[in-house]
Amino acid sequence: MKGNTFLTGLLILTLWGCVEPFEPETGGFKSVLVVEGNISDADEPYLITVSRTASLDASGAIPEKGAFVQVKDEEGAAFLFTEVAPGKYHSNPLDFIGCSGKNYSLSIITSSNQRYESDVVTLKPTPPIDSIYFEREMRLTDAGDSLDGIRIMVDAHDPLGTTEYYKYSWIETYEIRPHYPSFYEWNFSVTPPAFVRRNPEINLCFKTDTCRQVLVTSTANLKTDRVSEFEVNYVSTVSFRLKSRYSILVRQQTLSEKSFRYWSEVQKTSESLGTLFDPQPYQLTGNVHNIDDPEEPVLGYFDASSVAQKRIFIDRKKDLRSLTYPAEPCISQLKTFSPQEEGDVFKDEFNLFISWGYLIVDAAGLLWAPPECADCRLFGTLEKPDFWPDAP
């Protein structure tokens, strides 16, 4: 019975990071602590997330607020993590940067005075990523429809042959350009209303997404410690992602054998259908334990590894000329306006502006487009990332 209760908690778990939630229909429920985090030797804040699994009728994991979180090194020094958002604890890079080869452990005291500690982990070095590249591939959806897109792959190797276990994650950023650029608008705050240039413009936005998968691989059974053609992402032409310019930052970490086994099981669980015939996930345990109650199940993993990363940019006009894209629904979503037929020009244009709001100027004159076809802010932000190149 205890195993079934734990199974329920595990399957409805929403792991913070790259794990998709799965919500089966089951019986009893007991909330389980979830701990995840990784420290490295990068000069940046490290994140530890602490939460609890939620019941089926809840909207997501429950953040564990007000916990005392710290990382200790092998020499006894302790580094405090500060809660920057509910259940999210950050280190201060001015106080703490991990060191390759050193041993670390995680300590947590919850607001209810429950004490948890992780196993000791060694911060392992990570070899560099050799290359990131892509190739076109057609795929089928579950409904049997064809998708055109690109699979993004990674090559890496360790000449010393000591890595063997790899974990990947990614952050993708892409441009959003509306089908109908809207450069002008009516300014109705003046009399008579004036036709003015938009400021700021709404024709170029950016969107950033992070991975929702567990991506691990091993070279332990290979002759050489080499990762070849490992797929980290598939991007189709259905969304905005490949319509203009796309970029992906791939991060590579080294895992211990124990950590690899844990994340491999998480990967299997998150990809399974969750039927009674699947491997029993209640056997999955991480490396964090309740000091006072060793029998309490705790999910998640605390790890330490340096991080290697590499970014590529993909431009539709230069790199993706052969891809096919779905029909653009905005093509038939324009309205015309004729002042000779409408009478009071400004009144009628104002009414159209309220209902549609986006004035398009082209060879046909003045047209009106719905927001989703003319305003990139509906899908992203106007703020350009620091790393984004200028338009060619």
| Phi, then psi, of 74 in degrees rounded to 5 | -70, -15
**CA 268, CA 255: separation in Å to the nearest integer?**
17
| Nearest C-alpha neighbor of 246 from the set 181, 149, 155 | 149
Q: Would you say 338 and 345 are in contact if contact means Cβ atoms under 8 Å apart?
A: no
The stretches of the chain forming alpha helices (DSSP H) are 2-11, 257-271, 316-319, 339-342, 345-355, 371-374
**CA 168, CA 133: separation in Å to the nearest integer?**
15
**CA 330, CA 315: separation in Å to the nearest integer?**
22
The pLDDT of residue 351? 63
Question: If DSSP codes are grouped into helix, strand and coil, which group holds residue 3?
Answer: helix
The pLDDT of residue 252? 97
| Nearest C-alpha neighbor of 185 from the set 354, 373, 384 | 354
Residues 6+ apart with CB under 8 A from 73: 79, 99, 102, 103, 104
DSSP notation for 236-291: ESSSSTTTSEEEEEEEEEE--HHHHHHHHHHHHHHHS---TTS--GGG---SEEES
Rounded to two decimals, the pTM is 0.83
| Phi, then psi, of 361 in degrees rounded to 5 | -115, 120
pLDDT, tens digit only, all 392 positions of the chain:
444 443 334 433 433 344 444 444 445 567 889 999 999 999 999 999 999 987 766 667 889 999 999 999 999 999 999 999 999 999 999 999 999 999 999 999 999 999 999 999 999 999 999 999 999 999 988 888 899 999 999 999 999 999 999 999 999 999 999 998 888 877 777 777 777 888 899 999 999 999 988 999 999 999 999 999 999 999 999 999 999 999 999 999 999 999 999 999 888 887 764 433 344 444 577 899 999 999 899 988 999 999 999 999 999 999 999 999 999 888 877 777 654 444 455 566 666 665 566 777 666 667 778 889 999 999 999 999 999 998 76
Burial profile 225-239: b = 16 or more Cβ within 10 angstroms, e = fewer: bebeebebbebbbee
CA 48 to chain centre: 16
The CB-side HSE value for 39 (13 A sphere, CA atoms) comes to 29
Q: What is the DSSP letter of 218?
A: E
